[in-house]
Structure 1
């Protein structure tokens, strides 16, 4: 398995997803004029009830995140028809993208899974990930999981980002130390 994890403090790659059959969107480009940061939520797809629950919980916090200047966009590898069917179980008003390609998943460094059977889905899909990106497309925070039950708790995520966005806290991007380890001989 190849994996190329994105590093905090690095630039978020240009990855396009579909918003509709005739409209594409480049992740990291803000849609909402009231936001200068973006939370990109990568989810498994319509087949995942834990993803549905997580997205619906995020909806409850959508305006709180927007008050912090952070817009939400959720994306999956699903096809348009799958997303449209999934919307019956979703109660979200934030942007939903679909058609995340294998190349896009590779650029994001997310874990990928093959469906267990045809009832799950009919394509390789991404496991959950979350990226917080600032206006310059610098990665502020990263959370990548290999399964649907290891995700940040939404209230903790909100409170943490509230702390980070407060200029009085002068909170740096964490996880950027990258000096080689010297082994004892």
Structure 2
């Protein structure tokens, strides 16, 4: 049975960030949505290019009333390295999100297959959450590939808002 369903309240999401703050989904007050991007971690080159692309489009998301956070299971020190080595200075980066909490979000869990990967980490997920903390849309991957494209997501958000299109997949 799934833990995260459209039109239902999402699990609690409380995470420390590299800027020294604790970020709580329940405290967010976006005009339209909160975009939560779960990523694999510093070891993942696909995550690097994905978050760098998001960083380059962050103002477009903000203009659409979307708050954004990116979260991994990396330790604080690995998250700090991510924030300094990657071109993601405009993004809020959360860290130390536990595998147990990742399971509550229906994320896939992988075991490291080489010395560069952590012993365990979660695979990517993207969640668009309404201001009332209910899920609007989700994309959950079992691999680092085939993630939603940010330009398409931006176009979709425009359509959603203009047409008052409801969340789907709740049945």
Could you state the TM-score of these two structures normalised by the residue count of structure 1? 0.85
The number of residues matched between the two structures is 170
Superposed counterparts of 1:161-172, under 5 Å: 161-166=157-162, 169-172=163-166
Is 1:43 the equivalent of 2:39?
yes
Equivalent residue for 1:52, pick from 48, 53, 57: 48
- 8 A Cα contact 2:125 2:138, kept in partner: yes
Please give the alpha-carbon distance, in whole angstroms, between the structure 2 residues aligned to 1:101 and 1:153.
Answer: 26
Return the index of the structure with the highest Cα Rg.
Answer: 1
Please give the alpha-carbon distance, in whole angstroms, between the structure 1 residues aligned to 2:164 and 2:94.
Answer: 33
Structure 1 residue ranges, 4+ long, deviating more than 6 angstroms after superposition: none
Superposed counterparts of 1:129-144, under 5 Å: 129-144=125-140
Query: Helix, strand or coil for the counterpart of 1:100?
Result: coil
Residues 36/172 of structure 1: CA separation in 2 closer, same or farther (3 Å cut):
closer
Query: Helix, strand or coil for the counterpart of 1:151?
Result: coil
Equivalent residue for 2:22, pick from 20, 24, 48: 24
Residues 7/44 of structure 1: CA separation in 2 closer, same or farther (3 Å cut):
same
Is 1:15 the equivalent of 2:13?
yes
RMSD: 1.9
Please give the alpha-carbon distance, in whole angstroms, between the structure 2 residues aligned to 1:55 and 1:91.
Answer: 8
Q: What is the CA distance between 1:69 and its match in structure 2?
A: 0.4
Is 1:100 the equivalent of 2:131?
no
User: Where do 5+ consecutive residues of structure 1 fail to align?
Assistant: 179-185
Could you state the TM-score of these two structures normalised by the residue count of structure 2? 0.91
Residues 43/60 of structure 1: CA separation in 2 closer, same or farther (3 Å cut):
same
Superposed counterparts of 1:104-119, under 5 Å: 104-119=101-116
Partner of 2:167: 173
